Amino acid sequence: MIKAVRGMKDLLPPETARWHYLETVARAVFVSYGFQEIRLPLLERTELFSRSIGASTDIVEKEMYTFLDRRGESMTLRPEATASVVRAFIENRLDQGAEVKKYFTMGPMFRYERPQKGRYRQFHQINCEAIGGEAPELDAELILLLMEIFRRLKVTGLELVVNSLGCPQCRPAYLMELTALFARGLRDLCPDCQRRSAANPLRVFDCKSKTCQELLAQVPTISDKLCDNCQRHEARVLELLDRFQVPYRRNPRLVRGLDYYTRTAFEVVTTQLGAQDAVAGGGRYNGLIKDLGGPDLPAIGFAIGQERLATLLSQQDADLLQQPLLFVAVLGEAARDRAFELVQALRHQGYVADLDFTNRSLKAQMTMANRRGAAWVLILGDQELADGRAPLKDMRRGEQHLVSLDTLPQILADLQPELKGV
Ligand code: ATP
Ligand code: MG
Alpha helices by DSSP H, listed for 278-389, are: 288-291, 306-311, 315-320, 333-348, 362-371, 382-387
- 261 assigned ligand-binding residue: yes
Do 104 and 196 fall into the same domain? no
- Number of Cβ within a 10 Å radius of residue 186: 13
Average pLDDT over residues 16-27: 96
**Is 7 a domain residue?**
no
Do 207 and 250 fall into the same domain? no
- Assess whether pLDDT exceeds 60 at residue 187: yes
Last residue of a domain, one of 260, 279, 313: 313
Ligand 1 atom nearest 281 alpha carbon: 11
Beta-strand pair 74-77/101-110: unpaired
Q: What's the confidence (pLDDT) of residue 234?
A: 98
**Is 390 a domain residue?**
yes
Q: Is the CB of 307 under 6 A from ligand 1?
A: yes
**Is 21 a domain residue?**
yes
Ligand 1 atom nearest 268 alpha carbon: 18
Do 107 and 240 fall into the same domain? yes
Q: What's the confidence (pLDDT) of residue 122?
A: 98
For residue 161, the CA-to-ligand 2 centroid distance in Å is 17
d(CA 108, CA 15): 16
Do 342 and 368 fall into the same domain? yes
Q: Is the CB of 305 under 6 A from ligand 1?
A: yes
- Assess whether pLDDT exceeds 80 at residue 185: no
Do 195 and 286 fall into the same domain? no
Do 54 and 138 fall into the same domain? yes
Q: Is the CB of 111 under 6 A from ligand 1?
A: yes
For residue 118, the CA-to-ligand 1 centroid distance in Å is 9
Q: What's the confidence (pLDDT) of residue 208?
A: 81
Structural domain span for residue 384: 323-412
**Is 5 a domain residue?**
no
Do 125 and 251 fall into the same domain? yes
Average pLDDT over residues 342-365: 94
Q: What's the confidence (pLDDT) of residue 422?
A: 39
Average pLDDT over residues 290-314: 96
Instruction: Tell me if 254 sits within 8 A of 265, measured CB to CB.
Output: yes
Q: What's the confidence (pLDDT) of residue 273?
A: 80
**Tally of structural domains, the chain:** 3
CATH at 340: 3.40.50.800
Q: What's the confidence (pLDDT) of residue 415?
A: 78
For 58-84, the pLDDT digits (tens) are: 899 899 999 999 999 999 999 999 999
pLDDT greater at residue 203 or residue 41: 41
Q: What's the confidence (pLDDT) of residue 197?
A: 80
Q: What's the confidence (pLDDT) of residue 35?
A: 98
Do 195 and 279 fall into the same domain? no
CATH at 233: 3.30.930.10
pLDDT grade for 417, boundaries at 50, 70 and 90: low
Average pLDDT over residues 20-47: 98
Q: What's the confidence (pLDDT) of residue 420?
A: 39
Do 233 and 295 fall into the same domain? yes
**Is 318 a domain residue?**
no
Q: What is the mean pLDDT of the chain?
A: 93
pLDDT greater at residue 212 or residue 119: 119
Average pLDDT over residues 222-243: 97
pLDDT grade for 340, boundaries at 50, 70 and 90: very high
Ligand 1 atom nearest 79 alpha carbon: 10
List, in order, residues 6 or more apart from 303 with CB less than 8 Å away: 80, 81, 82, 125, 126, 127, 128, 280, 281, 282
Do 46 and 154 fall into the same domain? yes
Do 232 and 95 fall into the same domain? yes
> Max CA-CA distance within the chain?
94
Q: What's the confidence (pLDDT) of residue 275?
A: 76
pLDDT grade for 183, boundaries at 50, 70 and 90: confident
Average pLDDT over residues 6-11: 97
**Is 420 a domain residue?**
no
For residue 329, the CA-to-ligand 2 centroid distance in Å is 50
Last residue of a domain, one of 313, 344, 378: 313
**Is 51 a domain residue?**
yes
Q: Is the CB of 270 under 6 A from ligand 1?
A: no
Q: What is the pTM of this model?
A: 0.93
Average pLDDT over residues 46-55: 92
Do 260 and 374 fall into the same domain? no
Look at ligand 1, atom 6, and give the residue with the nearest C-alpha.
Answer: 257
**Is 257 a domain residue?**
yes
- 82 assigned ligand-binding residue: yes
| DSSP secondary structure code for residue 218 in this structure | T
Mutate which of 57, 122, 125 for ligand 1 pocket (most atoms within 8 A of beta carbon) = 125
